[in-house]
Amino acid sequence: MRESIGLYLHFPFCRRRCYYCSFVSTENREQDIPVYLECLKREISNHSGRFHLKSIYFGGGTPSLMTAGQFAELFDCIGQAFTIDKQAEITVEMNPGMLTSGYMEDLRNCGVNRLSIGVQSLNDDELGLLGRLHTASEALAAFRTACRSGFDNINMDLIYGLPGQGIETWEKTLNLAASLGPRHLSLYCLSLEATAILAGQIEAGILPPLDPDMAAGQYELAEAMLDGYGYRHYEISNWAKPGYECRHNLSCWLMEPYLGLGVAASSYLEKHRRTNVACLDEYIYLVCSGAAMLIETDEETGCDLQLAEAVILALRLENGADIARFNREYGIDLLKHYSCQISELVDLGLLSRKENSLSLTPKGRLLGNEVFWRFLPEQPS
């Protein structure tokens, strides 16, 4: 019997790198897309016959740089290697500014039924600051084109906590986005790795530093506003209209198995978390030379770490950690196992204990990391 899993495919190409980006992506290498897709197909074929797919997620990078023909070829390959659930959620991440209705209709014909559009802001000054290539009106046009092309299940990604961003511009972006009625909104607080261009501009004093208090206020505003628009805040950074929660990501947060293919993609199978090499040239070289191993890291998630990860991921969700499920699946008494952490976090007002579950309080959602690290096992020194 085939194991039922989610499939993630990483596409690491972008037209230009955004000024905040810390994802595995490259710019000015679009000529390498064909060879990369051949590598992906080889990786897919290596897993032939093993899995039944509940969901497929094309992430990046900018997967919408692929032509409709390239998508169709990938889907052929996926269909030969795996069985695909009739109800499978199939998502493609895309950037505005390059999307036509013909392209979107071709994606629908391939089986894609969910789009995730990287809108980020509906303010042109903010889009410029982020180094995005699209304008606000192009983002709105992309959303409308997607709707006209028959897509009902659309996510918009937005970013808050930008340097110098006030509450008013964020409120305008949120209001405009929510009034369009996308089924799903992902709101991310800007965080910068030292190598990001924006981090350098802040360091040089060209931009003001990030303001965590302002970001907290923007998050609270989103919580209050989106409720009024009929969204359910089902995960720390994600809001959805009822029934439109992202099933692929939900399955990852519940530590269900998934296979990740492509450069830097991670899998979680048989209680192992494996991650492919993160260097594009190395990935292509290894696949082309028929290497059996593309894996850079392979951790067996020991009991303590696995339990901690499962608790942390479950706490990200609105429903929190189901105590009975944890007791059953891990053969422990969750409340006793973490009694010190739980009583401290409840006292701090970060965690709420109900009869059958543990969940973050509104304050805990704002200060998630303060909660999460307490569940991690001590690392050997």
> Where do we find the tokens 């032509």?
67
Q: Which DSSP string corresponds to 228-281?
A: HTT-EEEETTEEE-TT-S-HHHHHHHTT--EEEESTT-EEEETTEEEEE-S-HH
Helices (H), 265-360: 280-288, 303-315, 323-330, 334-337, 339-347
Pick the stretch among 21-29, 260-268, 288-296, 335-343 that binds ligand SF4 (CB under 6 A).
21-29
Q: Does 251 bind ligand SF4 (CB under 6 A)?
A: no
**Cα–Cα distance, 84 to 109 (Å, whole number):** 15
Min. distance of Cβ 280 from ligand SF4 in angstroms? 13
Residue 312 main-chain phi, psi, to 5 deg: -60, -45
By CB under 6 A, the residues from 126 to 165 that bind ligand SF4 are none
By CB under 6 A, the residues from 97 to 126 that bind ligand SF4 are 118
Which residue type, as a one-letter code, is found at position 315? L
Name, in order, each residue with C-beta under 8 angstroms of 30's C-beta and a sequence gap of 6 or more: 13, 15, 65
**Cα–Cα distance, 235 to 360 (Å, whole number):** 10
Q: Does 96 bind ligand SF4 (CB under 6 A)?
A: no
Q: Does 188 bind ligand SF4 (CB under 6 A)?
A: no
From 55, 95, 249, 357, residue interacting with ligand SF4 (rule: CB under 6 A): 95
Q: Does 63 bind ligand SF4 (CB under 6 A)?
A: no
From 60, 63, 257, 320, residue interacting with ligand SF4 (rule: CB under 6 A): 60
Beta bridge partners of 120: 158
Q: Does 169 bind ligand SF4 (CB under 6 A)?
A: no
Binding string to ligand SF4 for residues 291 to 310, with x set by CB under 6 A, is what?
--------------------
From 5, 7, 9, 21, residue interacting with ligand SF4 (rule: CB under 6 A): 21
Residues that bind ligand SF4 (CB under 6 A): 14, 17-18, 21, 23, 25, 60-62, 95, 118
